[in-house]
Amino acid sequence: MSKLTFPRMGESWRTFKMLLEDLGNDVVVPPRPSKRTLDLGVRYSPEFACLPLKILMGTYLETVEMGADTIVTSGGVGPCRAGEYAMLHHKLLKDLGHDIKMIVFEPPRLQPLNFIKNVRALNKNRTSIRGIIAHIKRAWRKLQALDNAEKLSHIVRPREITRGTTSKMYRRVLGWIDQAYTTEQIIETETAALQALRGVPQDLDREVLKVGIVGEIYVLLEPASNLEIEETLGNLGVEVERSMFLTGWTRDNTWTETTEMMSVKEAAAPYLPELVGGHGRDSIGNTILCAKRGFDGMIQIAPFTCIPEIVARTILPRVSRDYNIPVLTFFLDEQTGKTGMSTRLEAFTDLMRRKKRLQRGQFTLTG
């Protein structure tokens, strides 16, 4: 029987594993990207390819070692490079002598036949269409549960009394959600998980800064690729609101119930009316929305040479000036020194805190 694997993006692998196993596949879970993953990826990928391509290349090579022979991944129609990843990965793996099968999901709206064909190929159990839909619904619910737990961890972490308790608890509740199988179980464990996270001892009077994170989806969702920026910020006493979650992604595109009654697209329109691929326009739109909601600052993270984010980054200084919100950008590459990023984050946090106190009129000389 063929062994399946898929790209790893944060904790979402728990859902995809469940879904693929439900359909009767043998799944190889991609390991968390490590130094070795990156080394492998960098060795065999083009030099100026973006970080996600390199990490995925490394992950694929590792899963191939573990016995995987089929890769399920997504395609795309541009203009972002991610749409061509599958093609290049396939060629590179073949060049290295691995005979791998690729199942590439193109946008179903444009290529419905490709979607049906792929689902049929994955449906080893010959589940009925209704069964497949039920499986997908359940998987979706699990994804939501995982996202909700992560969102709450971002709120709790800056307020925790003993550093590290939230991360520890978060890791534990992930295990609970992972174990849940039926929809009822998923909802039950989600409630328990959220309660457990809220139960972490917190100092509610602490002055907490609120920062939005925007940028390219892969480096946003995979903590191993962004050097755990959210955890670092949480430890600095900063509440993080990430603009992108796998489940929120679809909702964001039709998001009109924000307090400003404005979608991300509309917000970005005066600055960047064109879809430049990836999430360039979302980065700008979300920065504006967050500024309107009174955030203290924004952080943009993107892989080095990411085209859409370079466009966004060129425009962001103007947005930052117009809306009076500080923006810090990180371009991530295969260099894994965490200290450089921590130092910059600390400085940024200090500046934001100073700005906030100045606005409130409580200015302290020592800062």
- The β-bridge relationship of strands 209-215 and 238-242 is parallel
Which CB sits closer to other proteins, 30 or 277? 277
Nearer to other proteins, 158 or 308 (CB): 308
Side-chain half-sphere exposure of 236, counting CA atoms within 13 A: 24
Integer CA distances (angstroms), 210 to 230, 250, 255, in order: 12, 24, 21
Nearest approach, Cβ of 98 to other proteins (angstroms)? 14
- CB 88 → other proteins: shortest distance, Å? 6
Nearest-approach distance from CB 294 to other proteins, in angstroms: 23
Q: Closest separation between CB of residue 132 and other proteins, Å?
A: 25
Minimum gap (Å) between residue 4 Cβ and other proteins: 19
DSSP code, position 202: B
Count of positions (residues) in the chain: 367
Q: What is the contact surface with other proteins in residues (CB under 8 A)?
A: 45-50, 75, 77-81, 83-84, 87-88, 90-92, 95, 104, 271-278, 280, 304-308, 310-311, 313-315, 317-319, 331
CA torsion 134-139-144-150 (nearest 10°) is 170
The H-or-E segment that residue 106 falls in is none
**Residue placing its CB nearer to other proteins in the complex, 49 or 221:** 49
In the chain, count H helices and then E strands. 15, 8
Q: How far is the CB of 172 from other proteins (least distance, A)?
A: 39
* 346 contact partners, CB below 8 Å, separation of at least 6: 236
Determine phi and psi for 249, rounding to 5 degrees: -60, -50
In terms of CB distance, is 114 or 127 closer to other proteins? 114
- The one-character DSSP state at 325 is -
> Which CB sits closer to other proteins, 125 or 305?
305
Ramachandran region of residue 106, left (φ > 0), alpha (ψ -120 to 50) or beta?
Answer: beta
Residue 367 burial class via C-beta count within 10 angstroms: exposed 0-12, middle 13-18, buried 19 and up: exposed
Cα–Cα distance, 155 to 237 (Å, whole number): 10
Query: Closest CB to other proteins among 245 and 330?
Result: 330
Give the shortest CB-216-to-other proteins separation in angstroms: 12
Pairing of strands 70-74, 101-105: parallel
Smallest distance from other proteins to CB 317, Å: 7
Which phi and psi angles does 250 have, rounded to 5°?
-65, -40
Cα separations in angstroms, 329 against 272, 287, 298, 299, 344: 18, 12, 9, 6, 10
Nearest residue (CB) to other proteins, 4 versus 268: 268
